[in-house]
Amino acid sequence: MLLFFYMKNKNFILGIVNGILFFFSATFISSSTILPVFISKFTSSSFVLGLVAAIEATGWQLPQAFVAKYLEDKKYKKFMYIIPSYIRFGAIFLIAILTFRVINISHYLVIFLLLYSIYLLGGGVAGISFMDIVSKVIPPRKRGSFWGYRMGIGGILALMGGYAAKVILGEVAFPKNYALLFLIASISVFIAISCFSAVDEPPEMHIKKKRSYKSFFKNGIDVFSKDKNFKTLFIIRALYALFFMSIPFYIIYIKSSFSLPDSYVGYFIIAQMTGYVLSNLVWSRLSNRSLNALVIRLSSICLFLTAISTILGVKFVVNYLFLLVPFLFLGMGITGMNTGYLNSLLAIAPEENRQLYLGIFNTMLVPFLISPPLAGYVIKYISYTGLFIFASVVAISMTVFSFVLNK
């Protein structure tokens, strides 16, 4: 009976397990919690901390238009998921191994940033193939549940991961504590990749003839100018990229304001994952009903509350528990935005032009995604408060544009 259920729902199940494990791995290499604190061990530069967030954002988006164009005339695309995905596993695994011996490695931070870039670029190269396969094997009426199960169950595991991170950071000496976190992440990534590699990919029904990059990008510009929903969603996602520049600095600001030990990072992870899990029950159901614009609207409000509660929490805190509130809202906002805009984009993109829509959308975002290092200058010449006020204004702007979106 179980075997019959698995075979009938094989792609759905493997895709969910893939997401759960990637979600779990992200707990141990998170750009909003673990990495900012880890990088601060090597440098106090806000520019470098922002650079890590920029690498995360651009690594996924930058290669996608080029990969999309390359895949247009391919009947099967899974190979473009498998190869770069195992390369990214190799990068994160090597980070873990090197971190065990970080004290004996000169220029460690440079090597870390290089390998981290490879890890994220690998995800970007694999991303178009992944999204294309998902759009073919997961029907629209199930996509909300698909992303919901990935994020929901992954979030529950991540809650346990947050507790594990707290224990490891508190009980194991530096740098072995962070090396152990990265090793757990790499093992989880390996299993996740192996699961999705076993998905049965149906052949492409709309194979396009080869065309030049000039023609590809020209068609992409035409889409941007003529498709109102596409343009509106792009503006919202670009604003989200600008909001993203503040994300590495919430934990740095709170941690430094109260001189909290590294083990407290585990509490922030647990709070963020709680936000993921609880809100995901709402986001997935709304998305299944094609209410992606509403998901984006509500999650934008959560991001606004993240920035505002951080300012109020530090200035007027009466209990340390209140410091967890921004991360609760951050978890709610991030999972909502990711669910809402991804499903909205898949709904907007016509099947015969799916690669064009996905590739152009993601690559055009790159100029906005390199903004996080600028946050360092905002902090240096204005203040953390100034950065978070800017982030709150951006979040409100996202909310306003979500009323124009109807997909």
Per-residue pLDDT of the chain (407 residues; tens, 9 = 90+): 555 555 667 888 899 999 999 989 988 998 888 898 899 888 888 788 888 877 877 777 777 767 777 777 777 888 889 999 999 999 999 999 999 988 677 789 899 999 999 999 898 888 888 888 888 888 877 777 787 788 778 878 888 888 899 899 989 989 999 999 999 999 999 999 999 999 988 877 766 676 676 777 777 777 777 778 888 888 898 899 889 888 888 988 888 888 888 888 888 888 988 898 888 888 878 877 778 889 999 999 999 999 999 988 887 776 677 888 999 999 999 989 888 887 888 777 777 676 677 777 777 777 777 777 777 778 878 888 899 999 999 999 999 998 988 76
Question: Closest Cα to residue 193, out of 17, 390, 34?
Answer: 17
Alpha helices in 289-324 (DSSP H): 292-316
Could you tell me if residue 8 is inside a domain?
Answer: no
Residues 220 and 361: their CA atoms lie apart, in Å, by 8
**Distance, CA of 97 to CA of 81 (rounded, Å):** 25
Structural domain contains residue 4? no
Q: Does 129 map to a domain?
A: yes
- Note whether residue 261 is domain-resident: yes
Instruction: Determine, yes or no, domain membership for 3.
Output: no
Q: Tell me, yes or no, whether 213 lies in a domain.
A: yes
Residue 7 domain-assigned? no
- Domain limits for position 170: 13-402
Indicate the number of domains in the chain: 1
- Collect all residues with Cβ–Cβ distance below 8 Å to 222 and sequence separation of at least 6: none
Sign of CA dihedral 195, 187, 83, 214: positive
Domain at 379, CATH number:
1.20.1250.20
pTM of the model: 0.77
Among residues 390, 393, 182, 195, the alpha carbon closest in space to that of 300 is found at 393
Of 218, 225, 221, 232, give the one whose Cα is nearest residue 348.
232
- What one-character-per-residue DSSP string does 31-96 give? TTTHHHHHHTTT---HHHHHHHHHHHHHHHHTTHHHHHHHHTT-S--THHHHHHHHHHHHHHHHHH
Return all residues near 76 (Cβ < 8 A) that are at least 6 apart. Answer: 201, 203, 204
394 falls within a domain:
yes
